[in-house]
A and B are shown apart, each in its own frame.
Chain A
Amino acid sequence: MGSAHSVPAEMRELADRTGFTSEQIEHLHRRFKQLSQDQLTIRKENFDNIPDLEFNPIRGKIVHAFFDKRNLRQESDGLADEINFEDFLTIMSYFRPIEMNMDEEQLDRFRKEKLKFLFHMYDSDHDGKITLQEYRNVVEELLSGNPHLEKESARSIADGAMMEAASICVGQMGPDQVYEGITFDDFLKMWQGIDIETKMHVRFLNVDTIAHCY
């Protein structure tokens, strides 16, 4: 008892990079230890212990997103086998809400990063394009629980949405043109003017470790 609480240098650096406060980082660190069962890294299997997550139809894609090297800001491509706490925080920072003191440039960058995260979730083969097949996969996963909905209906829903996307990105296509897929720039175009920030953030509270009066 009585050890002086000095913020270690790495913590401060993490806080600056990811934008969380040091108390939030401490709290997330405890959560990380809980998930990893006191190991230094998390693997895909560790996410199996979260009952709330089982509920989620796109659970596979969410877990995949944690190990996706593109999201981890690493130069290489593909999937990582395990991630450490720094990587965990990096992924968490995609879901931070916008702050009041951000300027135009920061806001724009923030928005782009969130959209990129979403893009990577759809683009499962990492080729930089969302093809019709990949889109269909996502819709099917979301609808897979309903036995009454046939595969055909799921497909037609996906096709309809893809057509809509194509018309925004490329305009009217000739009968011979084949739409290869949505690139990231097209993706950005689709979202112009639409406010995604409120939909894609998790409200982190400010937690303090010091006592309060009852």
Chain B
Amino acid sequence: MEDVWSLVLRVGAAWVALVFTLIVLPSALGVSLGISEAYLRVLVKTLEWATIRIEKGVKKPQPQIKTSATNGIIERDETPMEKEIVHPHRVDFEFSDIFYFCRKGFEAIVEDEVTQRFSSEELFSWNLLTRTNVNFHYISLRLTVVWVIGVIVRYCFLLPLRITLAAIGITSMIVGTTIVGQLPNSSMKDYLSEVVHLTCSRILVRALSGTIHYHNKENKPQKGGICVANHTSPIDAIILTNDGCYAMVGQVHGGLMGIIQRATVKACPHVWFERSEIKDRHLVTKRLREHVADKNKLPILIFPEGTCINNTSVMMFKKGSFEIGGTIYPVAIKYDPQFGDAFWNSSKYNIVSYLLRIMTSWAIVCNVWYMPPMVRQEGEDAVQFANRVRSAIARQGGLTELPWDGGLKRAKVKDTFKEEQQKNFSKMLVRNGSVGNLSAGTESD
């Protein structure tokens, strides 16, 4: 009995020591040992092999079809209303005018641009995770064997490793920031807080097997600025803090999150709002403005979409963040869906099951582009400015732009949008009508 115990303890100690030297220490020093890169290379080779085997296993010949970001079942007809509804017989209105709206309505029912964004992107080829393609055909024994090995590797090796790392990361974040928080305000304190935040972020990123490519680092957000980015998952914040220090903005939570928030705010001036304060927009804007005005404070990190979108498009930016003033540093984040789906579908999964899914995926690979700073121009209001920044982010990240509000995940469309369409149609008719009325007058005589 004792032998077994001592064996377990020895294995445990060896495990922790290994994790420490190979992962935690390099994170603290900001050095990479190249293990992640090697892992990813092996992974890519395996997935390529799997794709080729699947191709071979298919009986009928497949035409080369390009993968599209949105997989749809219908080809939408983009003819504008004016072209489609022509009245060759000089009448004001024809029975067939209704066809246009009928068809548009059907297209919307079969496939709706907005709801599509709130479900995970489907991959055209399989990445050996059943969750991405449930309808998959059985292809070959070898493939199944590889898949089984994949499952074992992911659940029995990677998962415990990642959970250990995450635990280490979070504990050191809480402990580290509490210690630093005791120091009096000084440049030493800022420096130490930066070190602690960066180290813990790096550990957490490794806990997800994250490989992040940062582009255009010369545009990194400066102090006194506001950093805006598109939102796909709660991990976005960690991805960005891996490379720099930001002041987070958010609501105070309870539980573990609340403990982290309380600890970190002592070391670094994050902006946490109470639930009641969030309702008061002026208060929020005032506090953020004060923060931005102080040029010594770290840049704020905001996600203006307000909710998680599935990383194929950028939805409407809420104008509140753009009313604060100051310089905006846009950042585009694009995840590579082949290695793991980072999107958090909050209506389907809660945070714990989401984290488990992330930790049992192969890896999180993403690209982060820092973009040159933007300021609000003369005569531009907050909404126009928000749209300009949004277009820039969408262009850079290769995402499509949708004018819809992310809040549509849960709420309904405003009536004003509906009336727009009706106004357009009736304007058209009235234009024809002023000409048509004359002919109708002569006809009815």
Contact = CB atoms under 8 A, between A and B. Distances in A.
A160 B91 contact: yes
A26 B58 CA distance: 19
B62 A202 contact: no
B434 to A, nearest CB: 10
A195 to B, nearest CB: 10
A95 B105 CA distance: 11
A136 B110 CA distance: 29
Contacts of A133: none
Given A52-B113, A56-B108, A121-B102, A24 B73 contact: yes
B422 A2 contact: no
A67 B268 CA distance: 59
A121 B98 contact: yes
A210 B425 contact: no
A127 to B, nearest CB: 18
A59 B105 contact: yes
For A26, A203, A210, the residue with the greatest tally of chain B CB atoms inside 10 Å of its CB is A210
Contact of B64 (A163, A164, A212): A212
B62 A210 contact: yes
A156 B429 CA distance: 12
Interface stretch (A8-16, A79-87, A105-113, A145-153): A145-153
Label chain B's interface by main secondary structure: helix
Interface in A153-208: 153, 156-158, 160-161, 163-165, 190, 194, 196, 199-205, 207-208
A125 interface: no
Contacts of A146: 422-423, 425-427, 430
Interface stretch (B27-35, B122-130, B212-220, B306-314): B122-130
B108 A95 contact: no
Contacts of B437: 156, 160
A14 to B, nearest CB: 16
B108 A53 contact: yes
Nearest to B126: A211
Given A95-B103, A118-B102, A212-B65, A199 B96 contact: yes
Given A153-B433, A207-B73, A28 B110 contact: yes
Contacts of B100: 199
Interface string B401-430: 000100010001100011111110111011
B211 interface: no
Nearest to B48: A214
Contact of B92 (A5, A121, A157): A157
A204 B97 CA distance: 22
A102 B262 CA distance: 71
A28 B112 CA distance: 12
B93 A160 contact: yes
A77 interface: no
Given A145-B420, A211-B55, A200 B108 contact: no
Given A34-B115, A203-B77, A53 B109 contact: yes
A12 B317 CA distance: 46
Interface stretch (B131-139, B167-175, B187-195): B131-139
B443 interface: yes
A163 B103 contact: no
B375 interface: no
B67 A212 contact: yes
B36 interface: no
B423 A1 contact: no
B388 to A, nearest CB: 23
A158 B93 contact: yes
B110 A118 contact: no
Given A1-B136, A202-B74, A211-B55, A160 B440 contact: yes
A213 B430 contact: no
B110 A207 contact: no
B105 A28 contact: no
Given A1-B147, A205-B74, A211-B124, A145 B421 contact: yes
The 8 closest A-B pairs by CB, nearest first: A145-B422, A52-B108, A146-B426, A54-B413, A145-B419, A62-B105, A211-B125, A143-B426
17 contacts: A1-B147, A24-B73, A27-B73, A48-B412, A50-B112, A51-B408, A52-B107, A52-B113, A57-B425, A62-B101, A92-B106, A158-B93, A161-B91, A163-B440, A199-B99, A212-B124, A213-B51
Interface of B: 51, 54-55, 58, 62, 64-65, 67, 71-75, 77, 84, 89, 91-115, 119, 124-126, 130, 133, 135-138, 144, 147, 404, 408, 412-413, 417-423, 425-427, 429-430, 433, 436-437, 440, 443-444
Interface of A: 1-5, 24, 26-28, 31, 34-35, 47-59, 62, 92, 95, 118, 121-122, 138-139, 142-146, 148-149, 153, 156-158, 160-161, 163-165, 190, 194, 196, 199-205, 207-214
Given A57-B418, A118-B98, A160-B437, 12 more contacts: A1-B138, A53-B105, A57-B425, A142-B426, A146-B427, A161-B94, A163-B443, A190-B95, A196-B96, A203-B75, A207-B71, A213-B125
